[in-house]
Amino acid sequence: MARDITPRQKKFVQEYLRSGDATDAAIAAGYSAKSAASTASKTLKMPGVIEYRRELEKKLFDEMGISKAWIGRRLVEIVELPDHPWFVACQFHPEFKSRPNRAHPLFKGFIAAALRYRAAAQRDMLHL
């Protein structure tokens, strides 16, 4: 059982698991809207709150039949089609890591593949 936490903290955790938004959960639990973001951040780090959150998550996952193994088998971060000239799908945002002078490797690969494709298309057009 989770360490003693207040009813407001329990409400916060329940709202947080429902919405996924810590600030909104803090407001819904009765914390001040003005300080909700900082209160939420602090509350999420409290040992009792962490323990209570884990207990509720485990209960929810058990009810839904979700395990760590199930998640690992079904969640994929990146997919590549080896027989395609250039196809990558990803669950993250490499564009946030790219800079004009330091492109993310996915973008470097995309540009290189696009240039190869264009060169091949131009060669094909010349040999019509």
d(CA 60, CA 62): 5
Percent of the chain with pLDDT over 70: 97
- What pLDDT sits at residue 7? 93
Helix ranges, the chain (H): 7-19, 22-28, 36-44, 47-64, 68-74, 105-126
3-class secondary-structure state, position 88: strand
pLDDT confidence of residue 64: 82
Q: How far apart, in Å, do the first and last CA atoms of the chain sit?
A: 76
103 residue type, one letter: A
User: What pLDDT sits at residue 10?
Assistant: 94
Lookup: tokens for 80: 């590549």
Is residue 51 very low, low, confident or very high in pLDDT (cuts 50, 70, 90)?
Answer: very high
The pLDDT value recorded for residue 128 is 58
Backbone angles phi, psi at 76, to 5 degrees: -125, 135
CA angle 9, 14, 19 (to 5 degrees): 120
pLDDT over 60 at 30, yes or no: yes
pLDDT in tens, 57-86: 999 888 888 887 777 777 777 777 878 777
- What is the dihedral angle through the alpha carbons of 55, 57, 61, 67, rounded to the nearest 10 degrees? -80
